Structure 1
């Protein structure tokens, strides 16, 4: 592979992702409202677009350690329902809801594409060891804003699990603390440690 091939691939991917975001944002804004952009998956899409334009290993690394685990769960859940016709986690249920147009549901297939882009960028650019700290800070901001600004019925980023699941034994604030502390410790840090030694 020549040097020009990765450069050409990067340029093409950058343009395609940018055009996709330009379509997705107004459509999602109209159908779901601005609060929908607080979903970690949407944050990951925006990080990807910025990373491609600025060729930033840091932004890609942040997406990988902080959002990839959730994207993997979405993809597995989607494939399980697609192949088995039954629910697993339920995070991709809307993809099989005919109340949403095929076009609107099709836009959500970025959940499958983004991890591929992240991994390719990781291979070419390497891992930025600052990612754990930046992603943890970003995650805290997003989760707190989600808790303060969104409708509990939407349960964006699963911040309202006690309310939506009827967990009366668990205080909502305690669940929020579990998310804020547990995700960096048990999701981000293990991935960070693995990538730091591998890349």
Structure 2
């Protein structure tokens, strides 16, 4: 079987995997397994799949889903540093009850967008990413809404997340009250699609047009070819 050169450097695969080997158990012990239902954590795992398989779809899904939210995370963090409260999504980064190491791991929000863009640049953008990603977070939001603690829930360990993916509003301390909860949830899902996913998908398609992207490897008749 003919071996073709890898499109991603080995050092990137090893360093990214090493980070996740540290982050995943630390997050699991401190935040619990439900923390991995956040869009950003799901995107990390999607990137891991793309890094090792060099398939474009997982990275494209992560790009469609979290490039814009991660920019908002960075802006919110800088605002908190400057004493300006934007949406409060990074307030936990200033919680002294959490170790510096634990909070430091969350800085992946800052470099993850660059990793995703690098993966899309090398592997290309998959048009299937929009429907694939849209269905995934909608499912995660439904799980969070029906089975996980809502905003305002007081848990024995305050680090365990509530209101995952903001399905009850943007304030974890109390649910939003300006809409009935089911209407808010539907509106939130549609807002994510229209405001975040569609524009990002459109921009990525223009940036990495399929005809200009290298094909993915596949095996056919015992030989490695490109498709």
TM-score normalised by L of structure 1:
0.89
Ranges in structure 1 where 5+ consecutive residues have no aligned partner: none
**Residue equivalent to 1:190:** 199
1:16, CA displacement in angstroms?
1.3
Residue 15 of structure 1: how far off its partner (Å):
1.2
Indicate the residue corresponding to 1:105 in structure 2: 103
Contact persistence 1:35–1:149 (CA under 8 A): no
**Offset, 1:180:** 1.9
Q: Contact 1:61–1:127 at 8 Å: present in 2 too?
A: yes
Computing the radius of gyration from Cα coordinates, the structure with the larger value is 2
Q: Do the aligned residues in 2 keep the contact of 1:146 with 1:156 (CA within 8 Å)? A: yes
Corresponding residue for 2:165? 157
**Residues 1:115 and 1:155: Cα distance change in structure 2 (over 3 Å):** same
Contact kept in structure 2, 1:162 and 1:170, CA below 8 Å = no
Residues 153-178 of structure 1 deviation map (CA, whole Å, 9 limit, x = unaligned): 32211001188555333111111101
Using structure 2 for the length normalisation, give the TM-score.
0.79
How many residues in Structure 1 have an aligned counterpart in Structure 2? 194
| Greater share of helix | 1
Structure 2, unaligned runs of 5 or more: 152-161, 209-227
- 1:46 is matched with 45
Deviations 1:101-133 (A, max 9, x none): 000000101101111111111222221111101
Task: List aligned pairs for 1:18-29, cutoff 5 A.
Answer: 18-29=17-28
Paired residues of 1:74 and 1:92 also in contact (CA < 8 A): yes
